[in-house]
Amino acid sequence: MQLISAQNISYSINEKKLFHNLSFNVNTGEGLYIKGSNGSGKSTLLRIILGITLPSKGKIHFCNEDLAISYLGHKNAIKSYLSPIQNLELIFNQSGRALAFEWLHKLGLKNVQDELTGNLSFGQQKKLALIRVLASSPKMIVLDEPFVGLDYATNNLLNNFLEEKLREDMSIIFTSHIQPTFECKTLEIER
């Protein structure tokens, strides 16, 4: 089943075209890997897909307006003045916390769970931010550069997780400079 259809998406900043005439679709259980050089508009395209930014031209159509989407953008969207445990308590309701805390342990953050998040390494903060996606149950996951800052083991864990979600008919849209290990469609943005 088709979830998203995009026709001739273009985006300009101050009359300078960032990208133009991009068309694609995303079906249930399908991955879309958006790749391109720095500044090519990958993050902007994700924001257009999510409805955060309007395209200069073209249309995005969602086949289900109530589609549950889990999004992790360029920034980690975690509170540096809270501990990892407090961040998870802020994000997840009571029923979702057990799985979130499981992921905290799986990602090796148990020993820093009560420290200030701002004192953690970039990689540890990235792992904490990823728990928002790992412990949720959306129909679509949208990720902006999810592999940046991850160690080898966590990179493999994330690739395996995303591959498993595709098998479960979840859809995934993501940007990355790191080639994923699972099968998905590729949309290359050229400058």
pLDDT digits (tens, 9 = 90+) for 36-92: 998 889 999 999 999 999 999 999 998 887 889 999 988 888 999 999 999 999 999
- pLDDT range class, residue 101, cuts 50, 70, 90: very high
Instruction: Over range 8-34, report the average pLDDT.
Output: 92
pTM above 0.85, yes or no: yes
Which residue from 27, 36, 25 is spatially nearest to 1, judged by alpha carbons? 27
Architecture of domain 1-67+137-149+161-190: 3-Layer(aba) Sandwich (3.40)
CA gap 83, 44 in Å, rounded: 30
- Asked if 149 and 130 count as a contact pair (C-beta separation under 8 A), the reply is no
Which residue from 189, 118, 113, 179 is spatially nearest to 146, judged by alpha carbons? 179
CA gap 92, 95 in Å, rounded: 8
Instruction: Over range 99-122, report the average pLDDT.
Output: 95
Please determine, for residue 117, whether its predicted confidence score (pLDDT) is greater than 90. Answer: yes
Q: What percent of the chain has pLDDT over 90?
A: 77
